[in-house]
Amino acid sequence: MKAHHPIAGTVHGHRGSRGTHVVFAGGGTGGHLFPGLAVAEALRQAQPELRITFVGSGRSLERGEVPAAGFDYMAIAAAPGPRKMWHWPRFASSHIAASLTARRWLEREQASLVVGLGGYASVPAVAAAQRMNLPTLLLEQNAVPGRATRWLAGRASVVCLALSQSQSWLGSAGNKAVVTGNPLRRPFRVTSRRADADRVQKTCVVLGGSGGAVELNTAFLDALTQLRGVALGWRMVHQTGTTEAEAVARRYALMGCDAHVTPFIDHPAEVLAEADLVVTRAGATSLAELAALGVPTVACPYPRAVDQHQWHNAQVYAEAGGCHLVDFRTGEPGATLAKTLAPLLVDRVAREALGQAMRRLAVPDAAERVAMIVSEMIGYSTLMRQAA
């Protein structure tokens, strides 16, 4: 993917006495937050004097990850868009209040530019910035842009897309789109995966996303019950989410399987680099991280995701030969998953073909691509290129 962006000249942010201030708005989930952190780290590396602040909705993931990465954090209440008409008045009232709070904060903190990370948590600060005529850049990770992106894209300066398939969903705002790839955390860009053939014991990693996935946990265990003979010699590493670890561990014990069960994998790049096969939901950032490592992947999209966006994400990778797509909307999930896993557990060549195709879809410098666009928007393009 080659980044080409339609910026008609440099847009200079507000430079007050406190310096140039880039604000990242949103987070909520890892899929939205981690790409923003990757871009912020690329900016900080090139321009240490930049002020960088994250504004989120106050969720624990944001409160933990942002300060740990060394950035300031501000919480502003935000609510998801309602799905029922009679909820709109309450939503409108809370959105106006959150946007006013965001505007007062952006003015007081002399924001130069706002980067929207997607999701409802990004809306108050981005909408306020647009009403203040501050430059705004949106990050869109999914094949089908989220509602926040579609709502805010019309007044955005630039929309950075992880996948080219997203552009057609933006209507007239599509002319502001730049295909940059999905910005990745540094561990996924510097970690190398050893070849499948180098490992005596094979490892299958099951990922339900940062919060786990009950349906995927159950389907995988049901599939493994049917495949116990085929799966002999495999070790399972299973991220369950916070509520299911004990129940999943009991089922593995009853089957006599070699399994490491954990609510959350703390160092995913290291674990995935040792994986011979991954079974995962189809969050856009998870798939991009797996592509960066070249991991053979079976994607099981969350069947009730808004606009079926996970299914569309997985379809992009499946059509390129990078993963197998298992649709839980049809058939019995465990049996459907078992049918897909059976040949992969015994065929190293098939697994490596998947991994190689995944690797071809990777955009390891996506964070730098987005950071370059941000730098041009705030007038730092020359310095960024010198730093590169």
Query: pLDDT tens across 118-156, in order?
Result: 988 899 999 999 999 999 999 999 999 999 999 999 999
Per-residue confidence at 91, pLDDT binned at 50, 70, 90? low
Q: Please give the average per-residue pLDDT across 262-290, as a whole number.
A: 95
Of residues 8 and 278, more confidently modeled: 278
Q: What is the mean pLDDT of residues 18-41?
A: 92
Q: pLDDT at position 217, please?
A: 95
* Among the listed residues 183, 184, 121, 112, the one whose alpha carbon sits nearest the alpha carbon of residue 149: 121
Per-residue pLDDT of 37-57, as tens digits, reads 999 999 999 999 999 999 998
Instruction: Tell whether the model's pLDDT for residue 294 goes beyond 50.
Output: yes
pLDDT in tens, 333-374: 999 999 999 999 999 999 999 999 999 999 999 999 999 999
Split at pLDDT 50, 70, 90, the class of 193 is confident
C-alpha angle 155-133-377 in degrees, rounded to nearest 5: 85
Mean pLDDT of the chain: 88
Residues of 27-36 as b/e, b for ≥16 C-beta within 10 angstroms? bbbbbbbbbb
Q: How far apart are CA 192 and CA 4, in angstroms?
A: 28
Predicted local distance difference test score (pLDDT) of residue 241: 86
Position 209 confidence tier, pLDDT thresholds 50, 70, 90:
low
CA distance to 12, 30, 84, 364, per residue, from 44 (Å) = 18, 20, 42, 18
Query: What's the confidence (pLDDT) of residue 381?
Result: 41
DSSP, collapsed to helix, strand or coil, labels residue 162 as coil
Reported as a pLDDT band with limits 50, 70 and 90, residue 58 is confident
Give the pLDDT of residue 64.
92
Are residues 210 and 30 in contact, defined by beta-carbon separation less than 8 angstroms?
yes
Quick one: pLDDT at residue 4?
41
pLDDT at 176 (0 to 100) = 95
Can you tell me the mean pLDDT for 316-337? 95
- Give the integer Cα–Cα distance in Å for 25 and 103: 12
177-179/113-116 β-pairing: unpaired
Question: Binning pLDDT at 50, 70 and 90, where does residue 90 land?
Answer: low
Q: Is the pLDDT of residue 183 over 80?
A: yes
pLDDT tens-digit map of 218-245: 999 999 999 988 988 899 999 998 888 9
Percent of the chain topping pLDDT 90: 71
| Average confidence (pLDDT) over 99-122 | 94
**Is pLDDT above 60 for 385?**
no
Q: pTM (2 decimals)?
A: 0.88
Q: What confidence category does residue 213 fall into, taking pLDDT thresholds of 50, 70 and 90?
A: confident
| Residue range 187-204: mean pLDDT, rounded | 85
Structure tokens, 72:
């300031």
Q: How much is the pLDDT for 262?
A: 94
pLDDT at 3: 44
The pLDDT assigned to 1 comes to 39
Please determine, for residue 82, whether its predicted confidence score (pLDDT) is greater than 60.
no
- Whose CA is closest to 124, among 94, 90, 88, 154? 94
Burial 123-146 (b: 16+ CB within 10 A, else e): bbbbbbbbeeebbbbbbbbbbbbb
Is the pLDDT assigned to residue 16 strictly greater than 60?
Answer: no
